Each structure stands twice: as C-alpha cells, then as structure tokens.
Amino acid sequence: MVDGIMRSGGTRIVGAISVLLLVTMACAGESEIVPSPVQPTDTAVETFSDGPFQIDLPDWPSVPSSDEATLIALGSTSGWGVAVARQPLVPRPFGWYLPKVLPDHGDFREMHVDDSDIGRVVVEARLGQSPILGVRFVLIYCGGATYQITGSAPETDFSNFLEFFQTVLDSAACSHSPATAEAGNGLVGLILTPSNNDFSFDNLRRTVVEAYDAGVRASHSYLNWSTVETEPEVYDWTFSDVLLDTMSLEGMRLSLVIEFIHTSILGETPDDLEGKGLDDPEYRRRAVAFAAAVAERYGEQLDYLALGNEVNIYFQDHPDDIQPFLDLAAEARAAVHVVKPDLPVGTVLAFHELMARDRLDLIEPFKFGDFLAYTYYPHTPGFRYDGDPGVFAGVLDQMIERSGGTPFIIVENGWATAPSLGGSEERQAEYIRATFAALAERRGSFGWHLWFGFHDGEQSICEEGGLSFLPPGTDPDSLGDAWGYFVDYLCTLGLKHYDGTPKLGWEVFKEELAKFQTGW
C-alpha cells in the first residue's frame, strides 16, 4: 500500500522538478545565466490559497504544467522558479523517498534532507548540466495533505534566490491546526483501527479526525521490527511514518510498543536474525540498536515506549527467557535514554491472563522500567463475554495495588460483541458505561486508558491476524472450536462494524468520554 503511494508521489515530485527545469531553461535558453540587473525580489506578491493553506507568491508569469499535483508554477526572467503542489500524504515519507528516485532522473548531483520536524521537511538538491540547477523542496503538512513548495534557480545565483525564497516560505500559513492535549495522567483514548482495514492515507486520516472530533486525544500503536529493519541496521520507516505522523499531526498523543515479543511468540525479526533467541549476542545488540533508532525517529512524538507486548503470556511457556529479556530490556532502556532521556520505557503485560492464572506476583520482575502497561479483556475461558459488565472497577483496584507506585497505563481494554461468545452490542455498551464510572472514581491513579478498538476486523483478516499468535507450523484446525472463538473475539472488539457502521457502544463511548473529560 505505502509502496504504491510513494511510487505515485515520487512521480509527482519528479513532475514538479520537470516544471521547474522548464522554467529555468525557458528563461535561460542554452546560454550561461547572467543575473538580471533587476532582481526578482523587487516584484509584487499575491496570496495563493488552497483549502486551509495559503502562501504569498511572487507576481511572475505562470508556467504550464501537465503534472496533476502541481497547483501553480511561476517563473521570472532571471531563471528563478517557484511551484506549489499538493500531495495526499504526510511529509516525512517524501523526504525518505526523494533520495531514492531523483538519482534516476536527469543529471542528479547531490542532496540533503532535513526531516527533524515531522510537519515541515526540507530537501535540497543540485541537478542538471547547463545550467546546474539548485532546487529546494519544503514539504509542509496542512489539512490532510503535504504542500510541496519548490524553488529553483541556477546554481550561480542560488544563494541570492534562497534569501528571497525564505520570505515566500515565511508567509506560509495553515488554518487547520488541531491542538494536542496536555501530557499527563487521565487521558482516555482509542486504538485507531480504520474501517475496512484500509490503511491508505486518506482513510487513516479520516479515522483519526473522526476520533479527534469525538474527543479522543490519545492512541497506541505497534511496531514490527522485521517490517522496519529491511537489512542489518538499515531502516525503512515509510509505513510507520505514515501511521504515527498522521496521528501526531492530527493532534493525538501516542504510546508505542516494539513487538520484540508478540503475546505468545517471539516477534518477527530481520531475516538474518531468524531463529536467534533473546540470549543471542547479535540479536541483543541489534534489538538495542533498533530501540534507540525508534527513539531517535519518534521520541518527540511518544509519551511511552514499551518493549514487548503481553510478554507474560509468552513467558508462561518460556520461563527461561525471562532473565534474558529483562537484561535486553534494561540495556535497550539505557540506549533509549541516551537518545531521549525523558522518554518513559517499560513493557506490556496481559492483566487478564495474570488474573486467570492467579499469578499477579509475576508483575514484580517487570517493574524494571519507568512505567507498566496493561491489557485487559474480561472474557472467561473460551473467550466468553457472558460475565459481569461491571467487573473493571475491581480489576482497576488490583492494578493500582499490584503496580505498587510504579506508574501504569492501560493500552487495551475491550468487550467483544460476537453472539457466538455470549457478547452483544448492548453488553458492550454496559461495559463502557461501567468502565468510565470506575475510571472517574479513580481519576489520578492511572496514566492512560485506551479502548480496543475503533472498528471491527473482517473475517479473513482476523484469521490471518490470529495465525500470527500461533507458533510456526501450528495447524489452527487442530485447536477445534477454540480457533473459531478466538477469531470471533479478534473480529468484534470494535466500537463500529468493519464497514464503519456504528455499534451502540460508539455513541455511549462518545457520551461517557465527554462527561469524563469535563469532570462529570
């Protein structure tokens, strides 16, 4: 999905470069550029607007463009050019992608990328022969799109041009600027699973904006090591940039878990580490380096970083791996704090499983970090949802007691609605009301509470997701009826159906969230 988006976006960016090359060549002909005695900085400006975005552009002649993303292209008699294009994506993937596509187009010479600001990425390049062209791209996020402001001039005049181009950039403004909630305890949020399992940028953003408009200000996400580290210590952040940057730029606070452990199994590793365990020196070195790289990339966007998801479920069958994991986690935490000293690092435990096995004492070893994170699902054996919808109050009391002063957040909590499990929309709605009442009565005793999730899954996708929890080679049919119940459980935790149709719980969630945020 993202690869397709980036190929399309890369083509559009190259199209914008072609427009600016035409600007320069049309003004310069085939001769050497001689700066005009009347500099383009003396020209008047006109305000250009597109939706929530506006910018003051020079009153230069327009340059025709067949590039569908280019909104306007202008050129001066001195060979200076400015163009504005709109790209349906967040900025950082373009900053990552441009160095990969530009060398294949024309006489590419050099490039520099500054993507330290997720909402404003700057790319500068030199390309062409006669004349050599200096190009600066500034990619600004506004209202669900990246506005690509591109400036170009002959290299011999590029430093003069940049002084002028900066005045153009300084005029850029965006009227869409969602406020981010203050950091701290008491945020209630939602895992933003999109409708139809469609992670395209437009649908993902619609999902985030709908949740934000309903009052949601926090979410939680998951990072697969093997997806990002495509070669040893070579990282492809494209998909995680789209996911995390979209949520951040649309006003969400975030927590993130790196799935070194994926509930019941070890998480997927880069190909060259396949088969290596937590006690392998190279696995450990690379895992620590990856955690530090994640903090470097996303640390400014995160309130919490967890290492391993629902790790106690894995350790039930692999107790010998507990100490190697704790050693790795301690080293990774130290490496993260070198990069981002104030970023809390911890791990995620499945509280419902600890309760079911009467092993709440197992929380103690995992207080190695700055916080604890819990998931909680109130099902009985067989993933049945036929119990008391008011159960969470007592559970939260146990979380408070067992955490023993260590800060904690609840990153997943949900009630399945599948009739096969004894669930229903009505009982989900009851559970939501009761859970908000419990949270309100204990306000200040927990960090965040996040509901799982926004939308249901689709049957085949849930089956595929369910397989990811099974040891390699396991035949799900060997699990009998339990496999079908597990898939139904995964598929029906949403507050909306797969296609976006609201369940009863969605309206109740919005009502209770508004009451909670106003202090009842």
Print pLDDT tens along the chain (520 aa). Answer: 333 433 344 444 444 445 444 444 444 433 333 344 445 556 789 999 999 999 999 999 999 888 889 999 999 988 899 999 999 999 999 877 777 766 665 566 778 899 999 999 999 988 877 778 899 999 999 999 999 999 999 999 999 999 999 999 999 999 999 999 998 889 999 999 999 999 999 999 999 999 999 999 999 999 999 999 999 999 999 999 999 999 999 999 999 999 999 999 999 999 999 999 999 999 999 999 999 999 999 999 999 999 999 999 999 999 999 999 999 999 999 999 999 999 999 999 999 999 999 999 999 999 999 999 999 999 999 999 999 999 999 999 999 999 999 999 999 999 999 999 999 999 999 999 999 999 999 999 999 999 999 999 999 999 999 999 998 889 999 999 999 999 999 999 999 999 999 999 999 999 999 999 988 5
**pLDDT score, position 10:** 43
Tokens of 344: 């809390």
**Is residue 374 helix, strand or coil?**
strand
**pLDDT score, position 9:** 43
Is residue 116 within 8 A of residue 25, CB to CB? The reply is: no
Enumerate the domain spans of the chain. 2-174, 187-517
**pLDDT score, position 100:** 72
**Is residue 490 helix, strand or coil?**
helix
**pLDDT score, position 108:** 67
**pLDDT score, position 23:** 46
2-174 folds as: Protein Transport Mog1p; Chain A (3.40.1000)
Helices 281-298 and 322-339: crossing angle in degrees, nearest 10, is: 40
Residues 6+ apart with CB under 8 A from 209: 144, 250
**pLDDT score, position 368:** 92
Residue (of 193, 256, 199, 258) closest to 229 by Cα position: 258
Tokens of 283: 């696995």
CA distance 186 to 430: 21
Q: How many helices (H) and strands (E) does the chain have?
A: 16, 20
**pLDDT score, position 111:** 83
Residue 370 CB-density burial (10 A; 0-12 exposed, 13-18 middle, 19+ buried): middle
CA distance 212 to 192: 10
**pLDDT score, position 34:** 38
Evaluate the CA torsion angle 150, 153, 157, 158 in order and state its sign: positive
Tokens of 125: 């390049």
Task: Kindly give the pairing relationship between strand 448-451 and strand 187-190.
Answer: parallel
DSSP letter for 46, please. E
Is residue 283 within 8 A of residue 273, CB to CB? The reply is: yes
187-517 folds as: TIM Barrel (3.20.20)
User: What does the buried/exposed string (b/e) look like for 11-23 if buried means 16 or more CB atoms within 10 Å of the residue's CB?
Assistant: ebbbbbbbbbbbb
